[in-house]
Structure 1
Amino acid sequence: MGHKVLEQIRGGLIVSCQALENEPLHGDGIMQRMAVAAMLGGAVGIRANGPEDIRSIRQKVDLPMIGIIKKVYPDSEIYITPTIREVELLADTGAEIISLDCTDRKRPGGIRLEELYREIRERYPKLLLMADCSTYQEGMKAAGLGFDLVATTMCGYTPYTSQTRLPDVDLVRKLAENCKKPVIGEGGIWSPEQLAAVLDAGAFAAVVGTAITRPMEITKRFVAALPTWG
């Protein structure tokens, strides 16, 4: 099953269809329709947030799904599938891949990544696990632990990578050359040219979200380019 899923996404575009509760496109089945549009446009997979959206999308979209749950805990900066509880909820949705933050930051409850990984593997041995990382060292560590895929999702979104110019093509290249796991290029891809550069650097597949599915952020980007008259 895992091999089949990987072959389905190899060399393709995965579209992230997410909207948080405070965003205009949240609810009302909008992410389902967004995912259908992505599928019709040629996407090979969907990344989605939360059991409700994942199940809704699954009704209309027969593509591999990367499932996450964004949840904030008061004692940690990690918010993408941070604990075993979120993994449990995602496992029940049938998402083929579950992704979790594997950055070098304190986890909720002080649990170490190694402990969480071991518990997930013991309870869900057939799940494909993807590591959302921000640095080469984090990616290599996750690959060494046994994660099935390593993604550059968090590059630019941790305090120690916040000044990184995205997409970080060099990070993708280094991981692709050395980690011995499929590398998913994700983070800051705004154009087809950048997507091509990430894949040329060795990415197994790539994820694009904001540039496709978040019209508010796309509008802000255009507005910021307007001339100012003073």
Structure 2
Amino acid sequence: MLEILKSSLIISCQAPSDSPLHHPDIIAVIAQACVNQGAKGLRIDSPSHIKAVKKLLPDIPVIGLWKQMGLNSSVYITPRFEDAVAVSEAGADIIAIDATLRSRPNGETMANLMTKIQQELGKPIMADIDTLESSIEANQAGADFIGTTLYGYTEATQNLIPPSFEFIEKLLKTVDKPVICEGGVKTPEEVRKALDLGCYSVVVGTAITGIDLLAKKFVEAIE
């Protein structure tokens, strides 16, 4: 199933928790609309949403995660093993985790978390990194995919704007695992460029499914 993702578009179907779109069945039909137009994979947040998507689209690879806020840590993408268990049981084919070098909420190391997920859950891992240093750690820890997801979104990279194709080129030379471009991708041309550089696949979220944020930007421009 994972071969389907090679040289393809993965669409992140998520909505803010206070949005009327933040409902498992609505996320599932948004995902269906994306797949109908040719998306080969999906990135979905939370067990209930993953379960609804897999029920509707059982043959489509899903990168699953669970955003957990309020754990006294800036790490929030599937930060603990119990979060990964829930994501796995919901049906995710790949489990995405924060693979930055920041302290985790329970003190567990990234490497230990990866080992437990792979050995006990038998699921491949997408390591969401922010820097070359974190990509090296994730690569050595055995991540199956390296994603640029957190580049520009952490304390260490907050002044950087994704996607950075210069960073992607360096990353491709640094790690020997498939690289998934994610974060800030806004146009079809950027998707094509990332694939031409050698990325395994590309994840697009807000530019396609971020109705709340897109509408807000247009309104703010008018006001």
- 2:84 matched to which residue of 1? 87
Give SS of 2:194's match: helix
Runs of 4+ with >6 A deviation: none
Q: CA deviation at 1:58?
A: 1.2
What is the rounded CA distance, in whole Å, between the counterparts of 1:21 and 1:166 in structure 2?
24
TM-score, with structure 1 as normaliser: 0.91
- 1:175 matched to which residue of 2? 171
Which one-letter code corresponds to 1:44 in the other structure? K
**Correspondence for 2:138 among 127, 139, 142:** 142
**Correspondence for 2:11 among 12, 15, 37:** 15
Q: CA deviation at 1:118?
A: 2.5
What is the rounded CA distance, in whole Å, between the counterparts of 1:8 and 1:122 in structure 2?
24
Matched, 1:166 2:167: no
The 8 Å contact of residues 66 and 87 in structure 2, kept in 1 or not, is answered as: yes
- 1:9-31: CA deviations, max 9, x gaps? 00000000112321231116110
Which one-letter code corresponds to 1:76 in the other structure? S
The 8 Å contact of residues 15 and 212 in structure 2, kept in 1 or not, is answered as: no
Q: CA deviation at 1:219?
A: 2.0
Gaps of at least 5 residues in structure 1 are: none
- 2:67 matched to which residue of 1? 70
Matched, 1:184 2:183: no
What is the rounded CA distance, in whole Å, between the counterparts of 1:28 and 1:71 in structure 2?
17
Gaps of at least 5 residues in structure 2 are: none
The 8 Å contact of residues 24 and 48 in structure 2, kept in 1 or not, is answered as: no
CA RMSD of aligned residues (A): 1.5
The 8 Å contact of residues 73 and 108 in structure 1, kept in 2 or not, is answered as: no
Give SS of 1:207's match: strand
What is the rounded CA distance, in whole Å, between the counterparts of 1:197 and 1:164 in structure 2?
19
- 1:55-79: CA deviations, max 9, x gaps? 1111222210000001124321111
Identity across the alignment (%): 36
